[in-house]
Amino acid sequence: MKTPNQKIESPILDEKEVTLFIKREDTIHPLISGNKFRKLKYNLLEAQNQGQDTLLTFGGAFSNHIAAVACVGHEQGLKTIGVIRGEELEGNWQDNPTLQLAHNHGMQFHFVSRSAYRNKTNTDFLQHLKNTFGEFYLLPEGGTNELAIKGCTEILNEDDTIFDYICSSVGTGGTVAGIINSTQPHQNVLGFPALKGEFLKADIRTFAQNERWQLVTDYHFGGYAKVTPDLVEFINRFKKGTGISLDPIYTGKLVFGIFERIKQDFFPKGAQILAIHTGGLQGIKGMNQVLEQKKLPLLDV
């Protein structure tokens, strides 16, 4: 599936003599969009090949992955189970827009403590889940595995060979690894992590097949799911100017970081830049709940 590239118009781009396009992966599906669609594609085929009728996965309260798995399960007639980090959510999950969306699409929740959640790759813990729920097809947190990366290699297509730089937000590292593996020799990949931590480099190297990439670690805004009024203002201004909504967890930080690097002359004159919009817009409602509680500016919906 090919998605369109939208050219961004901005005085700073003209001044620095670079071009920026956004690959609109967010337009794939209203709920199963962006990298989540790509990551799930081959995993769903494998689940079907194995004769599995249940998907089990892991995620936090505002997880795009949890929402996408629930929605794809609903569309494909599969049962879905979400192991949710934070047992305190069990009594009030109805107030969480992401979990309410997942529930509405048939997902069954299993809330665990943060300490128990750390065992999500532990064999004994997974066996306990099988004893509790029966057989299932396991999707890891964030959906990253070899089949997910295979799906993410399909984000770029032959029309994208004109670009010098491919930029993507980074969560678990699977999406950017797939992008790295599908680039041409003249292209460089810049990954913009949404969370703190050098461990991502090792995770990406597990799957990346070349070294034409680097991480830009200056734009996580304090860590995963952390935002500032400046970021909210940027996202709202960008939407007003381009018509493109950005999510505050991933793509907002990505595009903010790209513009900052453009201002700093990181990109040479004449550079053609492609930023990947990985979807995740369902998270805006949940973030606005948090911002409202803190009496901070809200994101335009």
CA distance 104 to 123: 30
Please state, for a pLDDT cut of 90, what percent of the chain lies above it. Answer: 94
pLDDT value for 301: 83
pLDDT, residue 199, reads 81
Indicate whether 52 pLDDT > 80: yes
**How much is the pLDDT for 73?**
97
Neighbours of 199 (CB within 10 A): 10
- Sign (positive or negative) of CA dihedral 29, 251, 182, 163: positive
Q: What is the pLDDT of residue 116?
A: 95
pLDDT of 134 over the 80 cut:
yes
The whole-number pLDDT of residue 224 equals: 85
Q: How far apart are CA 9 and CA 86, in angstroms?
A: 42
For 235-250, the pLDDT digits (tens) are 999 999 999 999 999 9
Mean pLDDT of the residues in the chain? 96
What is the pLDDT at residue 117? 97
Read off the pLDDT of residues 211-228 as tens digits, 9 standing for 90 and up: 999 999 999 999 888 999
Question: Both ends of the chain: CA-CA distance in Å?
Answer: 27
| pLDDT tens-digit map of 99-116 | 999 999 999 999 999 999
Residue type, 255: V
pLDDT at 31: 87
* pLDDT at site 236: 98
| Sheet of strand 107-112, all strands in order from the earlier edge strand to the far edge | 107-112, 79-85, 54-59, 137-138
Q: Using pLDDT thresholds of 50, 70 and 90, give the confidence band for residue 23.
A: very high
Residue 247 has what pLDDT? 95
pLDDT of residue 223: 87
Strand partners, 166: 189, 274
Distance (Å) of CA 259 to CA 81, 104, 234? 39, 38, 10
pLDDT tens per residue, range 55-79:
999 999 889 999 999 999 999 999 9
Q: Is the pLDDT of residue 198 over 80?
A: no
Quote the pLDDT of residue 30: 86
Token couple for 173: 């590292």
Q: Convert the pLDDT of each residue in 251-271 to its tens digit.
A: 999 999 999 999 999 999 999
Amino acid present at 270: G
pLDDT for position 29? 93
Whether pLDDT at 182 is above 90: yes
Q: HSE-up of 237 (CA within 13 Å, CB side)? A: 11
pLDDT at residue 8, as a whole number: 98
At 28, which amino acid appears? I
Instruction: State how far the Cα of 171 lies from the Cα of 168, in Å rounded to an integer.
Output: 10
